[in-house]
Structure formats: structure tokens, C-alpha cells
Chains A and B, each alone.
Chain A
Amino acid sequence: MSTLPAVRPQLLDDRFRRGELAFWSLPLAAAFIFPEHLVLGAQVMIAALFALSLDLVLGYAGIVSLGHAAFFGAGAYTAGLLSVSGWGEPLSGLLAAGVVAAALGACQSFLIVRGHGLTRLMVTLGLGLLLHEAANQLSSVTGGTDGLSGMATGKLFGTWSFDLLGRVAYAYSFAVCLGCFLLVRRLVFSPFGLTLRGLRENERRLHALGVPVRRRLVLVYTLAAAIAGVAGALTAQTTEFVGLEVLSFERSAGALVMLVLGGAGRLYGAFVGSVVYMLLQSVSSDLEPSYWQFWMGLTVAVIALWARGGLLGQLERALERSRPEAPEPAPGAGP
């Protein structure tokens, strides 16, 4: 009779890998190689941050959301309205946007956790549409379909003003993006992050294990909302304009597509997906817009049917195939 191996609580190894450091040096390199495309670069990073916040909800906690733009828009309008009313200081605007979006997320999350499946999907969609309609109707505050104009973003740290070339905007977006990423990374490697994965796999079993399911979902939803709000505020501050589009269904669907294109539940999927998506979109913007829509739609459909895990998932599979057969570690033969 063999004795069972001692069960030790195991946490994931969260040391930084070399590939990750290389990945994060890419935006810096890009800034020097393509100095004329910094405005686009900042938009890509903002889109990536938004997709990352969706990854937390969808890829980790497993809540399929069709209304994530609600938080992006809430953050964008918060920063925009603050700026229009004279408070143009960027960092405090960012913070305020995060807080407002988090508050909204916390309110919504109580409705989200009530339902399951289709009901949950519909509630996220409905809440997103509700907010879009509200911003449309309150045109005296939000500018309605014309958008909110007259924003003036103040100097960063009181020294650097946002220039037309987008150098400050690029550095600012990069720093915020990196900061949020480190936070999310820390989070998904923590025990809390492990619970989230468990929730995605089997909510009922985690309930049986004594995990406070609803509280976890409320917490992760609120946090993701805050990050989405920060991304929205970044857009507002760097472009100095907020349009109704920030709350639209297209915005939610776009983030979903980016995330899945890169690979959901993989941390870097959001980044890879949004870079590919935004670059292709900007390249094909000279062509007829329906071409872009057609090929994008086709790609998403193909990924959903035949290539789960997106680009990163395919990469992982290819690496596994090319690697020589590693001997399986015998069960219980740990160090």
C-alpha cells in the first residue's frame, strides 16, 4: 500500500518570465521606430486595457458580458465632464473615473449574480443599452449625439502638457496600462484569482467548497469595471473628446472580439488581440468599411468554431507539438 502524497497548498508561480519583459519592452521600442504613429499606439494600449478588464470578467470569472462598454463610457464621461467643468488635472480625473465606474459596476453586479446563462447575458446587454440611451437623452449634460467637446486636459504632474504628436499621451497610456496590468497579474496569481478560475469551471462545486460565490463575483466585477473606467478616462483625456460611441454595443462587441482573437483567460491575450485588431482595422480603413467588417466577422466565427484559445492558444498548441515528448512526471513524485 502506498501512502498518499502530502497535500500542500500550492500557488501558481508568478515570477516574471523573460518573454514577458521582452513583451513589455516592445511598446518602448515601437515609440522609437514609429514616432509618427504614437497617437494610434496610445489608442491600441487603451483598447488593450479595456480588453484586459473584460478578460478578468470573462476569461477568469466566466461571465459573458455584452455590455462592458457601460464602464468604459462611464469612465470617459466622468473624466470628460470633470475636464469641461474646469478640473483638467489628468491623474485625479483618472482616479475619479475609476471610482465612478467601480460604483456603477458594484451596483450592476448585484443584478448580474442573480441570473445565469441567457438571463445574465441579457442583463449585461440591457444595462449597457440602458446607459447608452440615458446618455443619449441627457444631451444637456453629455452633448448627446454631438459628443462632449470643449475638454482641455491639464498638464501631467503640472509639467508635461499633452502635445499634438501624442508623445505624452503615449507615455501616459503606457504607464497606466502597465500599472493596471501588474495589478491584474498579481490578482490572477493570487488565491483570489484561483477561486475565479474555479468559478469559471464549476460554480456549483465552488459553492459546495464554501467559497462565497456571490461576493467573489461582485468583487471581480467591480474591479474590472474600475479598470474599464480608467481605460475610458484615458481615451477621453488623450483625445480630448467623448462621443456616445464609448457606450455603444459596438464598443462592447469590439472588446470581446479583441479578447477572443488574442485568447481569453491568458492575460496577454487582450494585448495580442487588440494590437492585431487595431492594426488591421487601421490598415483597412482606406478600403470600404464593409470589407473590414466582413473579414473580422469571418475570423471571429472561425476562431469560435475551430481555433479556441485565439492566437495565443494556437501558439501554445504549436509549441507543445514542436517540443520533444517530455516524460510525464509520475504522480506524487514531487520534490
Chain B
Amino acid sequence: MASFVGILFDGVAYGSLLFLISVGLSVTMGLMNIVNLAHGAFAMFGGYTSVWLMSRWGVPFIATLPLCFLVLGLAGCALEWLLYRRLRGRSQLDQVLFTIGGTFVAVASATFVWGPAEQRVELPAALRGQVQVLGLALGSYRIFLVALVCALCLALALLVDKTHWGARVRASVDNPSVAAGLGIPVDAIYCATFGLGSGLAGLGGALGVDLLGLDPNFAFEYLVYFLLVVAVGGAGSLVGTALAAIVLGVFDVAGKYYVPEVGGFIIYALMIVLLLVFPSGLYGRRT
């Protein structure tokens, strides 16, 4: 029983990491209608930025996190302004090709700069080891992760639901032409939203180095998981993405623990079944 709860918690921690990285993808796919297969590359570069800041400049781990968010967020804004903008309204094939090509470039660049080896991250002492919570031994890094993601999720929900800026985002998404007619700077809003999503992916990548590992293949290896979360959750839905990330995280961790011989099978099969039952995701906006 205790081990079951422990696995459940590990699954939730894994799922919250998936959520953090996928939420930006969900926004791009659901709200801007761009299939962004390069999203994994943002997370990968987030991880590399964190490792590089630590090893080269001696920045403490916690301090690298906001820096990663900032760097990747700005990079996302710039890329949206220069390139992704042209993909709006183009065919799905063009979007898939452009972003796959971009991912290849990103993977090659990462190999070139940091080498093909797996990167290690040195966590601060406070986040290492385990803590006893109600008689359960839980990893302290995982507790930190879940707490941080919960706080961010709350902040995100408040930002979208309660602020003036959130209202503008929702308006731009529901009907871009009417929003533009009302004087909302739709292009700038899209750019900022894309940047926010990229920044969160970078933050997730930095947080995930310890849990998921980091090498240049990260961008392709975990892309499937991010796409999975978005496709199952329903692109564009915050609640759906969170729910799908937690469900997939728990099933993946539990599957690998209880039936290791089946391995990655469960998560793919689960995705296909869920997609066939809910073709537009659990909380799909469009059919």
C-alpha cells in the first residue's frame, strides 16, 4: 500500500513536469492552430541553459530557473515574430515540416555545442534525499516540483481568467478578427503568449534534467510525450492538459514499475484508445 502511494506520488510529480512543458504546446496548437513539433527543443534548450549556467558561471540551481524561463521566453518571442508568424493559416504539412526541420537543427546545434553525452545536474543539498511525510518516504525534489507546478498552474489560471491581459488573450483566440477590430493588438498578444509558453517549456526542461535526463535526443524522445498530453487533453484547454499530464504520468510510472516488460506500450496504447473515444481530446474546444 505504502509503495502504491509512493508510486502514485512519483507519477504525479512526473505528470506535473509534463504539464509544465506541455502547456505552451497546448496553447500553440489549440489557440494559434500551429502544430509545433519543435516544442521539445525549447525544453531541451532550457535544460542546457540551466546546466551551462551552473557549470560555467557557478549560478546556483534555484537561480537558474527564472533565468531559463526568461531566456527561452525571449527566444520564443523572437522566433514567433520572425518565423512562426508565417506558419499561421498554412497547411498542417507545412507546419509539421518546418518544425521537424527546426528540431533537427536544434538537435544538431546542441550536439555541436555540448556534445552527445548525457548532462548531469547537481541539485542543492536541500532538494536531495527523502523526507518522511505521514510515514511515507517521498523524494524532496519531487515535493518541490509538485509544489512549484501547483503554484505556477494557479498563477496561470488567475492570469488567464482574472487579468485584463488574460481577457485580451481569450478574445484574440475566440475571434481574432473581431478582437483586432476592437483595437486589441492580436499579433503582439500571440507573440507574448507564445513566449510565455516557450518560457514555461524552458523552465520545465531545466527542472526535468534530474528526472528525465538530458542529451541532444531529448527534443525528439520526449516530444511524443508532450504531443500525447496535448492530444489527449484537448489542445487549448488548461484543465484538460493538466488532467491528461497527471493521468499519463501516473500510468507511465506505474506501468514501468508493475509491468516493466510491457514498457512504453501502455502509454501509447492508452493514447490511441483515448483519442478514439474522445477524438478532440478530453476537453477539446473544437470537433
**Does the CB pair B101–A129 fall under 8 Å?**
no
A320 is an interface residue with CB less than 8 A from chain B: no
For B261, list chain A residues within 8 Å (CB): 137
Task: Indicate whether A130 sits within 8 Å of B269 (C-beta atoms), given known contacts A58-B93, A293-B108.
Answer: yes
List residues 150-188 of chain B with CB under 8 A from any CB of chain A.
Answer: none
State A136–B96 Cα separation when bound (angstroms): 27
Shortest distance from the beta carbon of B275 to any chain A beta carbon, whole Å:
5
Q: Say what secondary structure dominates the interface of chain B.
A: helix
List residues of B (238-279) whose CB comes within 8 Å of A's CBs: 261-265, 268-269, 271-272, 275-276, 279
- Are the C-beta atoms of B100 and A119 separated by less than 8 Å? no
Q: Are A296 and B86 in contact (CB under 8 A)?
A: no
Q: Is the CB of B263 within 8 A of A137?
A: yes
Given A118-B235, A127-B272, A297 and B224 contact (CB-CB distance below 8 Å): no
Q: Are A126 and B275 in contact (CB under 8 A)?
A: yes
Report the minimum CB–CB distance from B165 to chain A (whole Å): 27
Among B87, B96, B102, B263, the residue within 8 A (CB) of A297 is B102
Q: Is the CB of A123 within 8 A of B275?
A: yes
Residue of A nearest to B30 (CB): A118
Contact A122 B231 (CB under 8 A): yes
Binary interface encoding of chain A residues 297-325 relative to chain B, with 1 for a CB under 8 A from any of its CBs, else 0: 11111111100100000000000000000
Cβ B98 vs Cβ A122 within 8 A: no
Q: Is the CB of A133 within 8 A of B83?
A: no
Does B227 make an interface contact (CB < 8 A)? Answer: yes
* Extra inter-chain contacts (4) besides given A64-B92, A118-B231, A293-B107, CB under 8 Å: A123-B275, A123-B276, A137-B261, A305-B87
Question: B275 touching A308 by the CB < 8 A rule?
Answer: no
| Residues of the B chain whose Cβ atoms lie less than 8 Å from the Cβ of A241 | none
Residue of A114, A129, A264 most packed against chain B (CB within 10 A)? A129
Which 4 A-B pairs have CB atoms at the shortest separation, nearest pair first?
A297-B104, A301-B101, A300-B101, A294-B108
Q: Report whether A130 and B97 are in contact in the complex, using a CB–CB cutoff of 8 Å.
A: no
Q: How many residues of A contact B (CB 8 A)?
A: 44
Partner of B227, one of A122, A253, A300: A122
Q: Chain B residues near A290 (CB, 8 Å)?
A: 107-109, 111-112
The residue from A119, A249, A257 contacting B220, defined by CB atoms under 8 A apart: A249
| B108 neighbours in A (Cβ, 8 Å) | 290-291, 293-294, 297
Does residue B59 face the partner (Cβ distance < 8 Å to A)? Answer: no
Task: Tell me if B97 and A300 are in contact (CB < 8 A).
Answer: yes
| Among A66, A119, A136: residue with most chain B CB under 10 A | A119
User: Would you give the shortest CB distance from A281 to chain B, in whole angstroms?
Assistant: 13
A237 CA / B276 CA spacing, docked (Å): 36
